[in-house]
Amino acid sequence: MNKIAVFIVLIILNCCTSMEKNNVARTNLLSIQLKEKQGLSKVEIKRVVIPQSGKAEYHLHPCSVVGHVVSGTLLFQVEGEKPQLLIGGEAFYEPKNKPILHFDNASDSESLVFIAYYLIEECEDLIVLLPEK
């Protein structure tokens, strides 16, 4: 009986070790605590390309937006916060109804590609362009 128990333990340990080797790796890119409760009714996902040295207009989003840079370098700044340079694989958060001062391609030699996830509550617009500062 002891030999069978040892054998079963060895099989379980071998399986667990094999599973650890084959597990999917998850890396936390961004964790945001939303300031207000949000009842999502829809999520829109957009792939956006900004050409070399291109800049998004001064804007805000009536919904929260999270996203990540696929390639290129992003100069990102929420109004009232410090600017950030983000590269491929890094994530960003655009708070609901907060003006975005910079969402610029920081490269003059390659396009900026990012994926944006719009967290929509009701019938909100995705973006509102603001008068230049």
pLDDT tens digits for range 21-75 = 568 888 888 888 877 777 888 999 999 999 999 999 999 999 999 999 999 999 9
- State how far the Cα of 29 lies from the Cα of 45, in Å rounded to an integer: 17
3-state secondary structure of 6: helix
Structure tokens at 26: 């998850």
70-113 confidence digits (pLDDT tens): 999 999 999 999 999 999 999 999 999 999 999 999 999 999 99
Q: Is 67 helix (H, G, I), strand (E, B) or coil?
A: strand
Question: Tell me, what's the pLDDT at 19?
Answer: 47
Beta sheet of 100-105, edge-to-edge order: 84-87, 73-78, 100-105, 59-60, 128-129
